[in-house]
Amino acid sequence: MIVGLTGSIGMGKSTVAEMLRRQGIPVFDADAEVRRLQGPGGLLIQAIEAMFPGTTSASGVDRPALGAAVFGDAAALARLEALVHPAVARSRRLFLRRYRSRPIAVLDIPLLFETGGHRRLDAVLVVSAPAWKQRRRVLARPGMTPAKFARIRAIQVPDAVKRRSADFVIPTGGTIGQTRASVRAILACLAARRGR
């Protein structure tokens, strides 16, 4: 069973992904893959430098600089995505091949709905918290500003739409313990579905 995990900025994807890993479930982390491809010696560095001059150095992509170039400029973001997404898709295929004998493998993909990947999955999990909590969490991050947060929110599929399209919503507005309990309940439900 291939299960997608997604949610908007700061909703708790990484936190839930870690909980799933602790249950022994393989989780593909699309964001980590992007970081690897853009990090020191990463495969995409040269192409990104050619497209966005001055945004890379020996230590890889200067993420705040690249973010400033693409968040708020739809055409620039589309060009970057056209470079990054096929490379991530390749790694995802390798991951799925590697874990194909497992009962469940999870794909943690921030842009699952934005890229239409949800159509090829057996189930989609969406992490969701009230907008004010999302805002408070994100603005507490170093380097984040209200303007940058607004630009990112504007290009993401809204939380309400994601929730409507989910097979399971994982509420992340409460305590970590509550989130962990709902993750466990969903895993039990997926196991029961598999057995049917």
Ligand X SMILES: Nc1ncnc2c1ncn2[C@@H]1O[C@H](COP(=O)(O)OP(=O)(O)OP(=O)(O)O)[C@@H](O)[C@H]1O
Catalytic residue among 56, 115, 145, 175: 175
What is the x/- site pattern for ligand X, positions 106-125, by CB under 6 A? ----x---------------
* Contacts to ligand COD from residues 81-140, by CB under 6 A: 81, 84, 88, 110-111
27 three-state secondary structure: strand
Return the residue of 80, 169, 170, 187 that touches ligand COD, per CB under 6 A: 80
Q: What are phi and psi of 157, to 5 degrees?
A: -60, 130
Say which entry of ligand COD, ligand X, none residue 117 contacts (CB below 5 to 8 A, set by partner kind). none
Say if residue 96 is exposed, middle or buried (CB neighbours under 10 Å; 0-12, 13-18, 19+).
middle
Figure out which of the listed residues 89, 161, 176, 191 binds ligand X, where binding follows CB under 6 A.
Answer: 176
Alpha-carbon torsion angle 69, 71, 75, 80, nearest 10: 70
Residue 44 near residue 82, CB atoms below 8 Å: no
Instruction: Say whether 5 sits in a helix, a strand or coil.
Output: strand
For Cα atoms 152, 156, 161, give the angle at the middle one, nearest 5 degrees: 145
With respect to ligand X, which residue has the nearer C-beta, 55 or 179? 179
Check the annotation: does 42 bind a ligand: no
10 assigned binding-site residue: yes
Q: Is 30 in the site for ligand X (CB under 6 A)?
A: no
Residue whose tokens read 């010696």: 41
175 is a catalytic site residue: yes
Instruction: Please give the distance of CA 28 from its chain centroid, rounded to a whole number.
Output: 10
Query: Exactly one of 175, 192, 195, 196 binds ligand X (CB under 6 A); which one?
Result: 175
Q: How many CB atoms lie within 10 A of CB 136?
A: 12
Residue ranges of the annotated binding site are 10-15
Residues that bind ligand COD (CB under 6 A): 9, 30-31, 34, 61, 63-64, 66-67, 70, 77, 80-81, 84, 88, 110-111, 152, 155-156
Residues that bind ligand X (CB under 6 A): 7, 9-15, 31, 110, 137, 172, 174-176, 179
